[in-house]
Amino acid sequence: MDHSQSGTNHSDSLLFLTDEQLRKGIEAMFFAYRGFTADPDRILEGMDYGRAHHRALHFIHRSPGTTVNNLLAILNVTKQSLNRVLRSLIEDGLVESRVGRTDKRERHLHLTTNGAALERSLSDAQRARMRAAYRAAGPGAVQGFRQVLEAMMDAEARRQYQSLKENPS
């Protein structure tokens, strides 16, 4: 790769993207993601839970009855890592694991009443921030935001994101 221009190029594309513009985008992602996770993190600190538990609760809420394997594919962690999280959620009565009726090897995951309550308090906080950000940025910004994020995903993540999109619970 040619570094003599540090990658800046004003001539070979539809957009004029300077390294400076790209770097601001990178830094915006870094600082914004911190804000994005801040409220749920605050709620969970002091409980025995962390961000990993939040993710599990979110996607079980999103796709009730999902299997462990489905969840592994979405979260992109090892089953040992997920299992530690799920075990504590099940032991604490926030998640229920039901043996599959057609395929008894599978475990189908559901939130209990308590689990749904915690998930809601976490997602309320996160939605409140997202709502405030959307409103501050204005209607036009929302679409651009989602378009850039979607284009930033790996192909497999985008597939998962879109299939969640098409399958609203």
> Given the complex with DNA, which of 21 and 69 has the nearer CB atom?
69
Question: With b meaning 16 or more CB within 10 Å and e meaning fewer, what string describes 141-161?
Answer: eeeeeeeeeeeeeeeeeeebe
**Contact pick of 10, 33, 47, 78 for a copy of itself (by CB under 8 A):** 33
Considering only 22-30, 41-49, 78-86, 98-106, which stretch makes contact with a copy of itself by CB under 8 A?
A: 22-30
CA distance 127 to 113: 20
Considering only 12-20, 26-34, 70-78, 154-162, which stretch makes contact with DNA by CB under 7 A?
A: 70-78
Considering only 2-10, 26-34, 44-52, 157-165, which stretch makes contact with DNA by CB under 7 A?
A: 44-52
Residue carrying the six token digits 């830094």: 27
φ and ψ at 108, to 5 degrees? -100, 130
Strand, coil or helix: 33? helix
User: Nearest CA to 115 among 71, 162, 59, 45?
Assistant: 59
Residues that bind a copy of itself (CB under 8 A): 1, 3, 6-7, 13-15, 17, 19-36, 38, 55, 58, 62, 76, 120, 123-124, 126-154, 157-158, 160-161, 164-165, 168
